Structure 1
Amino acid sequence: MLLFSFHAANTVIVSFLPLFLQFKGLNGTQIGWVLAIGPMAAIISQPFWGYMSDKYQTVKRIIMICLIGVLLFSTIFFQMDSLTTILIMGASLFFFAAPVGALGDSLSQRRADALGKSFGGIRMWGSIGFATSSLLVGEILSVVGIKHILWPYLFFATLALLVTFILKDVKVETKPIQFSDVKVLLKNKPFIIFLFFIMFLTITHRANDSFIGIYIASLGGSESIIGLSWFIGVTSEALVFAFAAFWFRKFHPLIFIIAAGLLYSFRWFSYSIIDDPSIVVAFQVLHGLTFGVFYLSAFQYVTRLIPKNVQSTGHLLFVSVFFGLSGIIGSLIGGALIDTAGTETLYLIMGFLALLGSILLTIYHVLPFGKS
């Protein structure tokens, strides 16, 4: 229930915050800055709260502290009107919200191991929460208006906090990240080149995360249509994850990554010419075949590239590039492009970027170290 309720709350931010900021009168560039604050805050807050969890040997209490901070600062954040106060309160909100998902996964993983159950079966509830909330909240906001976005967010965040009180805590026994681990990874040229090349894909993915709501609204779509689009996207992603055992080991991971990149390019080029929001919703089925396939394959390939003793650090760097750095760049550049050229041009450029990334990864694959 923790994963269900937290990811349900997170849906409100991911799916509807850009539309709410537009309602507040912010332009694309300003919205991009607000959305970039989340990944910026996460880069600081996730190591900090991870350290606190290690120091005090508790995951549950850290989650509780973070959720209390989320409730407090979300109440203030959604009341702000000026860009400066929105940025300050947004940074405060995301500082507490960013670590909850990872800490919740950690708690669930350890409890699953202790009980002899599948972590995937537990983690699935996060996807169910996200998908359910996107539909439900989209319908509610279509009726009451985007200005009331605070209330569904508070409802799910409060539910997450209440659930945390009844969870059993676990002790943290993971080895802390050492600076020497980072140095080893920075000297791993295939790993660094791979991270650089995939950014041509991950930046486009994160830009779409930030602005697809505004894009659908610009085509005449309502909040319920936006919610439905996220529901279909997350459902397709969950299906790709669920059936990974049947397709994942058929080919080299880079083959799947390149295929997902080409599909990303097709998806973005299509969005640049679509003028009907219902068609965009139908195209969201491709979310699973792009993000789902790409993320699983890239994570597995990173595991191949790096030594076992630094895999935790390598995975953290990969996730930081995907969701952190790419999120910052995608939000800032995407917002500026919407202001200067419009959403159609944004998606057109994203299509070319994804195509370029796919070509670079194909070249990378034929090089000797790309066959590892």
Structure 2
Amino acid sequence: MEVKAIKNQFKLLYTSIYFAIGALTSLLVLHLESIGFTGTQTGLVMAAGSLVLIFSQPFWGIICDKTRKTLMVLRITLIVAGILALVLSVVQSFYLFLFYYCLMHFFQGANAPISDTLAIKASNQLGSNFGALRQYGAIGFAIAVFIVSNVSEHAGLRVIFIFYFIAYLIPALFFHPGIKADDGIRADILSGLKDLIKIPEYRMILMGTFFIFGPVVANNNYFSLLYRHSGGSLAGVGLAFLLFAGSEAPFMKISAKLIDRIGIENTLMMAAATSMIRWFWYGSGPAPEMMLFMFILQGFSVGIYIVSAAQYVAEKSLSSLRVTAMTIYSSAGIGLGGIFCQLAGGVLLDYFNVLAIYIFFGISTVLGMFFLLNVKRRKHKFD
């Protein structure tokens, strides 16, 4: 397969997967509110999905590394997660919704880390830039929220589940990477896991991601409430996410140049510092027009952090355990970090208001920056 064709396959994969995630996560809080869930129940649903990711992502990573059937795992998990989303569209009971949402996340957990692992491998083989491929995830997310928020104003919020299903079905049927997805080397998984955890830099990036990326994940859920609290409309939420997530794409593309110029550790610190400023500012209750005007903050902070952290994890992990390393990293940020911030957000919403959630996000990011600072100090110590 030609280089251009391989790149187009990954563009399809990233656009579709993150279209599904954007369609669901950005408006799910409003859907749960519309069917009568309390703030605490909403926080529990979000956190429960993230809790499942803690176990499902490493599980699927180990399955891929053990069986060397990465593409088969990807296709099956995409289809099953999509079907479960359709089931969720008709569920109104809190406990039933919680059950099916967790089950959906069990299968969804395989997709992002497998995609990143395959894309990094393809980039290395093609001499390409991982960020140039990964940016299509941000584009897919942005387009999804814009389209789905506008459609849902007329067709109702249940359409988010239908869009999720369709977007997951497309790569399940049509994605063909054009590279060898699995290495011939079989690793001792348990021994390899012990080796990964022994790497200090790997432990630090896991902890940093917990505190820094947890708020990013939770923001996808709570931003619609913040925007409405500030006087914005539902269609405005779609425009906001179009600008926010769309701004990630160009920064993902230039992240490699930034890493080459100032180093990967400094790049991570800059992205985290920008996130911190953004959350504290949101906590002050800015006007919706100002949030739209400052959309570039998300592009610089989230876009650069996603690519830089994934590249850092890939560099620090064993080649035979790369999928496992990536999935454990994803669990730390998207799983544990998401639980921490989503649960706290739900409680803060019941006792205070949505502005308190964003003050909390800022404090969490400050804590994460201390772990990144330790990563940077270790580099200088051994240089």
Tell me, in whole angstroms, the C-alpha distance in 2 between the residues paired with 1:357 and 1:21. 30
168 and 30 in structure 1: CA distance in 2 versus 1, 3 angstrom threshold: same
Q: 1:59–1:170: 8 Å Cα contact kept in structure 2?
A: no
Between the aligned partners of 2:348 and 2:86, the Cα distance in structure 1 is 30
Q: Secondary structure at the match of 2:109?
A: helix
1:1-372 pair list within 5 angstroms: 1-53=12-64, 57-106=68-117, 122-164=133-175, 172-173=182-183, 175-176=186-187, 178-189=189-200, 191-302=202-313, 314-358=325-369, 361-362=372-373, 365-366=376-377
Does the 8 Å CA contact 1:190/1:369 hold for their aligned counterparts? no
Paired letter, 2:359: L
SS in 2 for 1:46: helix
SS at match of 1:26: coil
What is the rounded CA distance, in whole Å, between the counterparts of 1:339 and 1:13 in structure 2? 23
- Aligned-pair distance for 1:240? 0.9
- Aligned in 2, Cα 1:155/1:303: closer, same or farther, shift over 3 Å? closer
Distance 1:338 1:255, change over 3 A: same
Cα shift at 1:10: 1.8
Deviations 1:115-153 (A, max 9, x none): 887765554443332222222112211232324333323
Q: Would the aligned equivalents of 1:364 and 1:370 in 2 still touch at CA under 8 Å?
A: no
TM-score, normalization by structure 1: 0.84
Higher mean displacement: 48-57 or 246-255: 48-57
Give the Å deviation of 1:345: 1.2
Q: Provide structure 2 residue ranges, at least 5 long, that are not aligned to the other structure.
A: 1-11
TM-score (norm 2): 0.82
Distance (whole Å) between structure 1 residues aligned to residue 368 and residue 298 of structure 2: 18
Paired AA for residue 334 in structure 1:
G
Q: For residue 247 of structure 2, what is the amino acid of its counterpart?
A: S
- Deviation of the 1:56 alpha carbon: 5.5
| Partner SS state of residue 73, structure 2 | helix
Compared with structure 1, are the counterparts of its residues 120 and 158 closer, same or farther at alpha carbon in structure 2 (3 Å cutoff)?
same
Aligned pairs, number: 371
Deviates more, 1:26-35 or 1:217-226: 217-226
User: Which residue identity is paired with 1:172?
Assistant: D
**1:369–1:178 CA distance, 2 compared to 1 (3 A):** farther
* Cα distance, 1:270 vs structure 2: 1.0
Offset of 1:343 from its aligned partner?
A: 0.9
- Counterpart Cα distance in 2 of 1:339 and 1:361: 32
Amino acid at match of 1:276: A
The alpha carbon displacement at 1:347 in A equals 1.1
Q: Distance in 2 between matches of 1:114 and 1:310?
A: 18
Instruction: Please state whether the residue corresponding to 1:81 is helix, strand or coil.
Output: coil
Gaps of 5+ in 1: none
Counterparts of 1:205 and 1:371, CA distance in 2: 32
Deviation track 1:241-292 (CA, whole Å, cap 9, x = no partner) reads 1112332222243333333332222111110123422322233321121122
Report how far residue 300 of structure 1 moved.
Answer: 4.8
Q: Counterpart of 2:304 in structure 1: which amino acid?
A: V
Please report how far the alpha carbon of residue 204 of structure 1 lies from its aligned counterpart in structure 2 after TM superposition: 2.5
Cα distance change of structure 1 residues 365 and 40 upon mapping to structure 2, 3 Å threshold: same
**Identity, % of aligned positions:** 26
